[in-house]
Amino acid sequence: MALEVLESRPKGLLQRVALLLHGRGSDEEDLFDLSGIFGPNTWVLSVRAPFAFGPGFAWYGMDGQGEANLEQLQQSIRMLDQLVDQVSEGGPVILLGFSQGGVMACATAAHRQARGLKAAISLSAPPMPSPPEGEPLKDFPVFWGHGTEDPVVPSPRGQRTLEIVRSLGARVTAKRYAAGHTITEQEIDDLLEWLERI
Protein backbone atom coordinates (compact mmCIF):
# COMPACT_ATOMS: atom_id res chain seq x y z
CA MET A 1 0.00 0.00 0.00
CA ALA A 2 1.50 3.33 -1.11
CA LEU A 3 0.79 6.63 0.59
CA GLU A 4 -1.31 9.13 -1.38
CA VAL A 5 0.20 12.63 -1.66
CA LEU A 6 -0.50 16.11 -2.98
CA GLU A 7 2.65 17.75 -4.30
CA SER A 8 3.96 21.23 -4.83
CA ARG A 9 7.09 21.09 -6.99
CA PRO A 10 9.85 23.68 -6.50
CA LYS A 11 9.91 26.67 -8.83
CA GLY A 12 13.67 27.08 -8.46
CA LEU A 13 16.67 24.93 -7.61
CA LEU A 14 15.59 22.09 -5.31
CA GLN A 15 17.16 22.57 -1.87
CA ARG A 16 14.92 20.68 0.56
CA VAL A 17 11.81 18.52 0.93
CA ALA A 18 8.89 19.00 3.32
CA LEU A 19 6.37 16.31 4.27
CA LEU A 20 3.07 17.57 5.72
CA LEU A 21 1.24 15.11 8.00
CA HIS A 22 -2.41 15.83 8.82
CA GLY A 23 -4.35 14.98 11.96
CA ARG A 24 -6.82 12.18 12.67
CA GLY A 25 -10.00 12.36 10.60
CA SER A 26 -8.55 14.74 8.03
CA ASP A 27 -6.74 14.22 4.73
CA GLU A 28 -3.87 15.42 2.55
CA GLU A 29 -5.70 18.62 1.56
CA ASP A 30 -5.86 19.89 5.16
CA LEU A 31 -2.30 21.24 5.43
CA PHE A 32 -1.60 21.77 1.74
CA ASP A 33 -2.13 25.53 2.05
CA LEU A 34 1.06 25.61 4.14
CA SER A 35 3.11 24.60 1.09
CA GLY A 36 4.12 28.18 0.37
CA ILE A 37 5.76 28.86 3.73
CA PHE A 38 8.81 26.78 2.81
CA GLY A 39 9.82 28.95 -0.13
CA PRO A 40 10.23 28.31 -3.87
CA ASN A 41 13.11 25.83 -3.51
CA THR A 42 11.17 23.23 -1.53
CA TRP A 43 9.43 20.11 -2.82
CA VAL A 44 6.34 19.82 -0.60
CA LEU A 45 4.35 16.60 -0.27
CA SER A 46 1.16 16.61 1.79
CA VAL A 47 0.61 13.00 2.78
CA ARG A 48 -2.65 11.11 3.36
CA ALA A 49 -2.63 8.76 6.36
CA PRO A 50 -3.24 5.10 5.42
CA PHE A 51 -6.22 4.17 7.62
CA ALA A 52 -9.80 5.31 7.04
CA PHE A 53 -11.30 7.21 9.98
CA GLY A 54 -14.66 9.02 9.90
CA PRO A 55 -14.77 11.39 6.94
CA GLY A 56 -11.00 11.20 6.51
CA PHE A 57 -7.99 9.18 7.53
CA ALA A 58 -5.78 8.40 10.53
CA TRP A 59 -2.19 7.30 11.11
CA TYR A 60 -3.37 4.82 13.76
CA GLY A 61 -6.63 3.88 15.45
CA MET A 62 -7.62 4.11 19.10
CA ASP A 63 -9.50 1.59 21.23
CA GLY A 64 -12.39 2.37 23.60
CA GLN A 65 -9.95 3.24 26.39
CA GLY A 66 -8.05 5.71 24.21
CA GLU A 67 -5.07 3.40 23.70
CA ALA A 68 -3.28 3.57 20.36
CA ASN A 69 -3.24 0.66 17.92
CA LEU A 70 0.52 0.10 18.04
CA GLU A 71 0.52 -2.23 15.03
CA GLN A 72 -1.02 0.52 12.88
CA LEU A 73 1.36 3.09 14.36
CA GLN A 74 4.36 0.97 13.41
CA GLN A 75 2.95 0.37 9.93
CA SER A 76 2.54 4.11 9.39
CA ILE A 77 6.09 4.75 10.63
CA ARG A 78 7.44 2.18 8.17
CA MET A 79 5.49 3.74 5.30
CA LEU A 80 6.72 7.24 6.14
CA ASP A 81 10.23 5.86 6.54
CA GLN A 82 10.06 4.48 3.00
CA LEU A 83 8.68 7.77 1.68
CA VAL A 84 11.53 9.73 3.27
CA ASP A 85 13.99 7.34 1.62
CA GLN A 86 12.33 7.98 -1.75
CA VAL A 87 12.36 11.78 -1.54
CA SER A 88 15.55 12.49 0.44
CA GLU A 89 17.60 12.61 -2.78
CA GLY A 90 15.99 16.03 -3.21
CA GLY A 91 17.74 17.32 -0.09
CA PRO A 92 17.23 17.29 3.66
CA VAL A 93 13.66 16.51 4.70
CA ILE A 94 11.51 18.52 7.11
CA LEU A 95 8.58 16.74 8.77
CA LEU A 96 5.64 18.95 9.77
CA GLY A 97 2.72 17.31 11.53
CA PHE A 98 -0.46 18.60 13.13
CA SER A 99 -2.24 16.71 15.95
CA GLN A 100 -1.81 12.98 15.26
CA GLY A 101 0.45 14.00 12.37
CA GLY A 102 2.67 15.74 14.94
CA VAL A 103 3.06 12.41 16.70
CA MET A 104 4.08 10.84 13.39
CA ALA A 105 6.64 13.55 12.63
CA CYS A 106 8.53 12.87 15.86
CA ALA A 107 7.96 9.09 15.87
CA THR A 108 9.31 8.77 12.31
CA ALA A 109 12.31 10.95 13.14
CA ALA A 110 13.02 8.83 16.23
CA HIS A 111 12.70 5.60 14.24
CA ARG A 112 15.20 6.89 11.67
CA GLN A 113 17.43 8.42 14.36
CA ALA A 114 17.03 11.59 12.27
CA ARG A 115 18.80 10.04 9.25
CA GLY A 116 18.17 12.18 6.16
CA LEU A 117 16.08 14.64 8.14
CA LYS A 118 16.67 18.33 8.80
CA ALA A 119 13.99 18.96 11.43
CA ALA A 120 10.60 17.92 12.81
CA ILE A 121 7.67 20.20 13.60
CA SER A 122 5.02 18.95 16.03
CA LEU A 123 1.91 21.12 16.37
CA SER A 124 -0.96 20.46 18.81
CA ALA A 125 0.07 16.81 19.12
CA PRO A 126 -0.93 14.24 21.73
CA PRO A 127 1.79 12.19 23.48
CA MET A 128 3.69 9.65 21.41
CA PRO A 129 2.47 6.10 22.18
CA SER A 130 5.20 3.70 23.30
CA PRO A 131 8.17 6.06 22.74
CA PRO A 132 11.53 4.41 22.06
CA GLU A 133 14.24 4.17 24.69
CA GLY A 134 17.45 6.18 24.68
CA GLU A 135 18.06 9.43 22.82
CA PRO A 136 17.43 8.70 19.11
CA LEU A 137 16.81 12.44 18.53
CA LYS A 138 19.96 13.67 20.28
CA ASP A 139 20.54 17.33 19.27
CA PHE A 140 17.93 17.02 16.49
CA PRO A 141 15.93 20.25 16.07
CA VAL A 142 12.24 20.02 16.88
CA PHE A 143 9.68 22.83 16.94
CA TRP A 144 6.83 22.15 19.38
CA GLY A 145 3.74 24.35 19.37
CA HIS A 146 0.50 24.01 21.32
CA GLY A 147 -2.62 26.04 22.09
CA THR A 148 -3.35 26.63 25.76
CA GLU A 149 -7.11 26.47 25.01
CA ASP A 150 -6.94 23.27 22.93
CA PRO A 151 -10.11 21.20 23.61
CA VAL A 152 -8.94 18.21 21.53
CA VAL A 153 -5.46 17.77 23.00
CA PRO A 154 -5.67 19.58 26.35
CA SER A 155 -2.65 21.49 27.58
CA PRO A 156 -1.47 18.81 30.09
CA ARG A 157 -1.34 16.22 27.29
CA GLY A 158 0.55 18.68 25.11
CA GLN A 159 3.00 19.21 27.97
CA ARG A 160 3.52 15.44 28.17
CA THR A 161 4.27 15.44 24.42
CA LEU A 162 6.94 18.08 25.02
CA GLU A 163 8.47 16.07 27.87
CA ILE A 164 8.65 12.92 25.71
CA VAL A 165 10.32 14.71 22.80
CA ARG A 166 12.87 16.26 25.15
CA SER A 167 13.53 12.86 26.77
CA LEU A 168 14.45 11.53 23.30
CA GLY A 169 17.31 14.04 23.26
CA ALA A 170 15.82 16.56 20.82
CA ARG A 171 16.87 20.21 20.79
CA VAL A 172 13.36 21.60 21.24
CA THR A 173 12.04 25.08 20.64
CA ALA A 174 8.72 25.18 22.53
CA LYS A 175 5.97 27.76 21.97
CA ARG A 176 2.53 28.10 23.53
CA TYR A 177 -0.33 30.08 22.05
CA ALA A 178 -3.64 31.42 23.39
CA ALA A 179 -5.53 29.30 20.86
CA GLY A 180 -7.50 26.10 20.39
CA HIS A 181 -6.78 23.09 18.19
CA THR A 182 -5.49 25.08 15.24
CA ILE A 183 -2.41 26.63 13.66
CA THR A 184 -2.25 30.38 14.22
CA GLU A 185 -0.59 33.07 12.12
CA GLN A 186 1.77 33.76 15.02
CA GLU A 187 2.73 30.08 15.08
CA ILE A 188 3.57 30.21 11.38
CA ASP A 189 5.64 33.37 11.92
CA ASP A 190 7.53 31.66 14.76
CA LEU A 191 8.03 28.56 12.59
CA LEU A 192 9.51 30.61 9.76
CA GLU A 193 11.89 32.39 12.12
CA TRP A 194 12.93 29.04 13.59
CA LEU A 195 13.48 27.49 10.16
CA GLU A 196 15.71 30.42 9.23
CA ARG A 197 17.82 29.82 12.35
CA ILE A 198 18.32 26.11 11.80
Q: Which residues touch 194 (CB under 8 Å, ≥6 apart)?
A: 141, 143, 173
Asked if 22 is an active-site residue, the reply is: no
Which among 35, 88, 181, 190 is annotated as catalytic? 181
CATH topology for 5-197 is: Rossmann fold (3.40.50)
Amino acid in position 97: G
Per-residue pLDDT tens over the stretch 115-156: 999 999 999 999 999 999 999 999 999 999 999 999 999 999
> Domain residues of the chain, as ranges?
5-197
Asked if 124 is an active-site residue, the reply is: no
The beta strands (E) that lie in 9-116 are given as: 16-21, 42-47, 51-53, 56-58, 93-98
Per-residue pLDDT tens over the stretch 155-188: 999 999 999 999 999 999 999 999 999 999 999 9
Asked if 190 is an active-site residue, the reply is: no
Which among 46, 99, 122, 124 is annotated as catalytic? 99
Query: Cα(1)–Cα(100) distance, rounded to whole angstroms?
Result: 20
